[in-house]
Amino acid sequence: QVRLVESGGGSVQAGGSLELSCVVSGWTYRPKCMAWFRQAPGKEREWVATIDSDDTTYTANSVKDRFTISEGYTKNDVNLQMNSLKPEDTAMYYCAADSRCRGVSSPDDFRDWGQGTQVTVSL
């Protein structure tokens, strides 16, 4: 059974940094695409960044200069380094994975999801 577990969320002041981690277990092979999405209360789920099995990364323009997605300790882990955090970054952050890279930025492109980790940024 595929399982994705996020960690690293928390509360931070504006301008601070956090690093999120996602560990994927239950795969018999490495996911082709892994991504981070976020969802604030009352808003649609928003794509943040994706990394594929060739280590090519894709990042949303809204966070491009501040967030970096990377492989974790193993090729089945993915991290999201978040710098210069703003109150508008406050959201539940979700890790997603798929065995194919059908696309990189739509929730529909990813089959497996974690439960999320909360990030709260205050002034």
User: What local confidence, expressed as pLDDT, does residue 69 receive?
Assistant: 97
User: What local confidence, expressed as pLDDT, does residue 119 receive?
Assistant: 98
Residue 116 φ/ψ region, left for φ over 0, alpha for ψ in the -120 to 50 degree band, beta for the rest: left
Higher-confidence position of 123 and 73:
123
pLDDT in tens, 82-94: 999 999 999 999 9
The phi, psi pair for 43, rounded to 5°, reads -120, 165
- Mean pLDDT rounded to a whole number for the chain: 93
Measure the CA–CA gap between 74 and 77, rounded to whole angstroms: 5
pLDDT in tens, 34-70: 999 999 999 999 999 999 988 899 999 999 999 999 9
Q: For 25-49, give one letter per residue: b (16+ CB within 10 A) or e.
A: eeeeeebebbbbbbeeeeeebbbbb
Measure the CA–CA gap between 122 and 118, rounded to whole angstroms: 13
User: What local confidence, expressed as pLDDT, does residue 28 receive?
Assistant: 73
pLDDT in tens, 15-30: 999 999 999 888 777 7
Residue 73 confidence class, pLDDT cut points 50, 70, 90: confident
